[in-house]
Amino acid sequence: MNRLVTIPISHYCEKARWALDRAAIDYIEDQHLQIFHYAATLWAGGGVTAPVLTHATGVLPDSNAIMRWVDAQRRLVAPLYPADRLGEVEAWVHRFDEELGVPGRLIMYQETLSYPVEMVRWIAGSAPAYQSSIFTRGFSLARRYAKARLGVSAEAAKRAHAQCMGLFDEVHGLLKDGRLYLLGEAFTAADLAFAALASPLVIPPQYGIPLPTVDELPASYAAIARPFREHPAGRYALRLYETERHLRAPTC
């Protein structure tokens, strides 16, 4: 059986989950909280980051490798990587990974690391209960670790905010001509990556694990999320979640 090792809240893991779900590929998800995931990803044959997918003949230690593998398993009418747009799709996915995934995650940590109990509830998914319990009790250590590993600070979050807003404006620029999807008329890995990686900013209700509503977020986080949700690119990400996240893609 395919096994996907994840950090449940991770939006890179969400990319992999979404791709597998969309192609109706069976898998077991093995969820672990941050730091605890190291044992699971390394044991699975991956590196220090999640997701890692183990399948019958190999190990894929990266969300983009997983999306590419999914495409190779099924002849989808709308593949994630259409052959005639490969370069463009890959370029957008790479940009979203670096310019949205990384700064969006930093904002999420900056805005939640002061709320240990709520945060652990939001990020836990179905990770083992002992992990949540240790995480909550050792939260000050986890907070220090997150700050050091990801460079979380108020100053960095401010820069991250400007970077994400700039990218949202750029995405809006693409969509202005009325196209249905980022590259035209078909959903691709670029759309999936944009919507999944925008999740910490737009908080989609259809995310792969239950998220708090915007009103349940700490006030300062909600004040950041609302303008992103109302931005045309944010509305686009929310629409993709609503219409595509739980859709099974037709095969040829």
Ligand X SMILES: N[C@@H](CCC(=O)N[C@@H](CS)C(=O)NCC(=O)O)C(=O)O
Closest CB to ligand X among 147 and 172?
A: 147
* Distance of closest approach, residue 16 Cβ to ligand X, in angstroms: 7
The window from 4-12, 106-114, 117-125, 199-207 that contacts ligand X (CB under 6 A) reads: 4-12
Total residues in contact with ligand X, by rule CB under 6 A = 13
Q: In what order do the strands lie in the sheet with 3-6?
A: 28-31, 3-6, 52-55, 58-60
* Distance of closest approach, residue 77 Cβ to ligand X, in angstroms: 25
Query: Up-side HSE of residue 156: CA atoms within 13 Å toward CB?
Result: 17
* Distance of closest approach, residue 7 Cβ to ligand X, in angstroms: 5
Residue 213, judged by CB atoms within 10 A of its CB (0-12, 13-18, 19+), counts as exposed
Element at 66 (helix H, strand E): helix 63-73
- Spell out, one character per residue from 144 to 183, where the chain touches ligand X: x when CB under 6 A holds, - when not: -----x----------------------------------
Residues 6 or more apart whose CB falls under 8 angstroms from that of 206 comprise: 241, 242, 245, 246
Q: Does 72 bind ligand X (CB under 6 A)?
A: no
Element at 55 (helix H, strand E): strand 52-55
Q: Does 50 bind ligand X (CB under 6 A)?
A: yes
Q: Does 51 bind ligand X (CB under 6 A)?
A: yes
Amino acid at 193: A
Closest CB to ligand X among 51 and 79?
A: 51
Q: Does 199 bind ligand X (CB under 6 A)?
A: no
> Nearest to residue 227, comparing CAs of 181, 178, 170, 168?
168
Q: Does 129 bind ligand X (CB under 6 A)?
A: no
Closest CB to ligand X among 80 and 179?
A: 80
Alpha-carbon torsion angle 156, 159, 164, 165, nearest 10? 140
Q: Provide the H-helix boundaries in 113-177.
A: 116-123, 129-137, 139-150, 154-175
Q: Does 132 bind ligand X (CB under 6 A)?
A: no
* Distance of closest approach, residue 206 Cβ to ligand X, in angstroms: 19
Closest CB to ligand X among 58 and 173?
A: 58
The window from 46-54, 158-166, 192-200, 230-238 that contacts ligand X (CB under 6 A) reads: 46-54
Query: Up-side HSE of residue 99: CA atoms within 13 Å toward CB?
Result: 17
Considering only residues 5 through 34, tell me which ones interact with ligand X, judged by CB under 6 A.
7, 10, 12
Q: Which residues pair with 29 in a beta bridge?
A: 4
* Distance of closest approach, residue 62 Cβ to ligand X, in angstroms: 4
By the criterion CB under 6 A, which residues form the site for ligand X? Answer: 7, 10, 12, 48-51, 62-64, 97, 105, 149
